[in-house]
A and B are shown apart, each in its own frame.
Chain A
Amino acid sequence: MSATAPRLARLAALAAGADADANSEADPDPEPGPGPGPEADRGPGPGPGPDPAHRPTLLADRPDATLVRCGRVVAKAHAPDCDPDRLAVRLRIAAHPALHGILLPPLPLPPLPSPPAAGSDGLLHLLPDGRPATRWPYGLPVSPDVPDAAPWEETARLLARLHTVAPARLPGPVPPMRGPAKAARALARMRAATTRPAPGAAPPTSALRCAAATVERAWTRLPPWARDAAPPPRATALCHGDLHLGQLVRHPVPDGSWFLIDIDDLGLGDPAWDLARPAAWFATGLLAPAVWSRFLGAYRAAGGPAVRPGGDPWPELDTPARALTVQTAALAVAKAVAEGRPLDEDEWAVVDACGRMACAGTELADRSEP
């Protein structure tokens, strides 16, 4: 468990903080206890305290993020290795009027014993353990239980608007979009899991070793920029960098407008990267062709610049969609090894796609690379 009690307590205080007006009966000394507990769900749980609706609730606790909600506010502890200076610029971009209605804007920090991080316009706080922390309005996420309600068209239109924001208008220097860096990190994680299993963990099965080799072959076939080994050929658009259905919320709850959230990977890059995950889901058979067509059609109708306005979009999508398929497969293999389980059907679908990439005659120019 990566979250420690002090960090959770600090996040809870940050969330409750200056929102005391909104969260009028907030516990003056929120103490969520040593762990997430069984009530760690997306809604306010029952329990003791003056107002159950404002008890701190752990929304997520992953190595790259810890999220604590208190009423209408969410406090986020970002990844330990995140660059606070770049995060500060990303926060100022999210708060900038050019992103109004596209990115959920951060909330100002409440008065705290230590001043906000420099260059963040009062939006970024460094926790005692060094992790940067931020405050956000709570938004309603996409329900995994209602596939038909997933906002594909709204997502496409938000991306088209994001990609057409003029970077020169934004606070700077605008950092690079981190998509390729995350793909490279996923490969590193898979290599670590398969070659150096955690103490006590079972060594990977032959099926998983075979899957890892397939993923590696597909990775080497990608051009250097998609492996974070060279600058991207086009980095003219502001990109989200990590688009999936968990990156959308409605605000205000329950039926406000849809917004993009999570700015940790935001930056200048190839906007096709943001379309490439839905494209990869379609290509690997996880997403129905009709849904992919709706998404792509809405993006084009909104004037999005990532792909040509009509005809085959794959000349632009192919490289990032392959990179994200390889990334997804690498993380699946890493998790399966760590959990001592086989790949499930969806995970095999992604690994199989990597196998077909290694056979397809694409990117011949890169074939000679190590």
Chain B
Amino acid sequence: MHCPKCHAPMQTYNRNGVQIEQCAGCRGIFLDYGELEALSRMETQWAQQAPPPPPGPQAYPSAPAWGAPHQGHYGHHGHHGRHGQRGFGRMLFSS
């Protein structure tokens, strides 16, 4: 089979049971009757089954609307550990 657009030969691939022809030249894809619907159906099923992406360990914690835009100068290792003359968060040690 040759590509209807650039006439290069087309290669057959199997995607989840659906035969897909892809052009070796222009990378265009040819679908047989019903194959687009089959792919759409599989995509829908996958989206329904997939769990929501878990928040990674690096996820930024939620903060209130009144929070500071740039957060956290204590607790960074190294460059911000000491802050001016005041040392490690004087406020962290008092009422």
Chain A residues with CB under 8 Å of chain B are: 142, 144-148, 150, 182, 242, 244-246, 281-293, 296, 312-314, 317-318, 321-322, 325, 327-328, 331, 344-346, 349-350, 352-354, 356-357, 359-362
- Whether A144 pairs with B74 at a CB distance below 8 angstroms is no
- Whether A244 pairs with B70 at a CB distance below 8 angstroms is no
- Whether B71 pairs with A245 at a CB distance below 8 angstroms is no
- Whether B67 pairs with A346 at a CB distance below 8 angstroms is no
CA distance A291 to B89 in the complex (A): 13
- Whether B90 pairs with A346 at a CB distance below 8 angstroms is yes
CA distance A147 to B77 in the complex (A): 9
Chain B residues within 8 Å of A285, by CB: 67-68, 70-73
Besides A292-B61, A312-B62, A322-B64, 5 new A-B residue pairs in contact (Cβ under 8 A), listed by A number: A144-B90, A244-B94, A286-B89, A346-B83, A350-B91
Chain B residues with CB under 8 Å of chain A are: 60-68, 70-77, 81-84, 86-95
CA distance A314 to B67 in the complex (A): 11
Chain B residues within 8 Å of A312, by CB: 62
Q: Would you call the interface of chain A mostly helix, strand, loop, or mixed?
A: helix
Contact of A244 among B66, B68, B93 (CB under 8 A): B93
Please, could you name 28 A-B residue pairs with CB atoms under 8 Å apart, sorted by A?
Answer: A144-B88, A146-B88, A147-B74, A150-B88, A242-B95, A281-B91, A283-B63, A283-B66, A283-B67, A284-B68, A285-B70, A285-B71, A286-B73, A286-B89, A286-B91, A289-B61, A290-B72, A293-B61, A314-B62, A325-B66, A328-B91, A346-B90, A353-B67, A353-B68, A354-B66, A357-B66, A360-B66, A362-B65
Contact of A144 among B63, B68, B76, B93 (CB under 8 A): B93
- Whether B72 pairs with A288 at a CB distance below 8 angstroms is yes
CA distance A285 to B89 in the complex (A): 11
CA distance A301 to B71 in the complex (A): 24
Chain B residues within 8 Å of A286, by CB: 72-74, 89, 91-92
